[in-house]
Chain A
Amino acid sequence: MVVKLCKKIDNPWELLQKRQKPENVGSVLVFTGIVRGIGKDGGRVLKLHYEAHEELAEKVLRRIVEEAKEKYNLADVIVLHKVGEARVGEIVFFVAVLSKHREEGYKGLIEIVDRVKKEAPIWKKEYTTKGAYWV
């Protein structure tokens, strides 16, 4: 399991490639969240700023992943989340789920992504051509 808050999510594919795949793994599912070019206010996004309570966020992410691994019998999970400034198109959230079959992988991936968004103490502020606001 890899759980990390990063200033830059550089090449998550390489990290995924290098992870050892247990013999029983037959499914690798990935969610990649990137910065959208149009903001909530309809303006063009200039940047996002991610703030986190880092110590607590890593603890929460770890708990979410451990619970999903147990619940769906996942073989391995990678969760990377951005902190700091992000530009349009940049990867800000990366989740990879390795499992024996795709069914439990799909469920585990959805649950991890949804729970991280709802439970981890991470916040983003959007700066657009029309203004700046916390999302």
Chain B
Amino acid sequence: MRIKVRFYGELREKLGVSEIEVSASESTLVKILEELSSRLRGFSERVYKEGSLKKGILISINNRLISPQELERTFVRKGDTVDIMPPPSGG
């Protein structure tokens, strides 16, 4: 199955990609993050490394925010869109 992953703001610029497709069998969000770590240069230092999410990073699946505590038990399904966002800086 294919999962769409989108990046925003500074992350999009630093990683050099706005959208990427990940192929995975029935998978947890953590597995998707691990795959992205191996595919995208700079991902592990900016987003996710050795089981932990970098401070302030936001992740949503189909516009539902996922808390860092939920990562391990969150599954992604065919057609899902995962958004990975830098720490907010609005206002």
Contacts and interface: CB of A to CB of B under 8 A. Distances in A.
Interface string A28-52: 0000010000000000000000111
Given A116-B91, A120-B88, A121-B58, A51 B9 contact: yes
A110 B89 CA distance: 16
A55 B91 CA distance: 17
Given A51-B8, A56-B60, A60-B65, A122 B88 contact: yes
Contacts of A51: 8-9
B63 interface: yes
Contacts of B86: 123, 134
Interface in B68-91: 83, 85-86, 88-91
Interface in B1-50: 8-10, 13
Given A53-B8, A56-B65, A134-B9, A123 B83 contact: no
Interface string A57-90: 1011000000000000000000001000000000
B53 to A, nearest CB: 15
B8 A123 contact: yes
A81 B91 CA distance: 7
Contacts of B58: 121
A15 interface: no
Interface of B: 8-10, 13, 58, 60, 63, 65, 83, 85-86, 88-91
Interface of A: 33, 50-53, 55-57, 59-60, 81, 92-93, 113, 116-125, 134-135
27 contacts: A33-B91, A50-B90, A51-B8, A52-B90, A53-B60, A53-B85, A56-B60, A60-B65, A81-B90, A93-B91, A116-B90, A116-B91, A117-B88, A118-B88, A119-B88, A120-B90, A121-B85, A122-B88, A122-B90, A122-B91, A123-B10, A123-B88, A124-B89, A125-B9, A125-B10, A134-B10, A135-B89
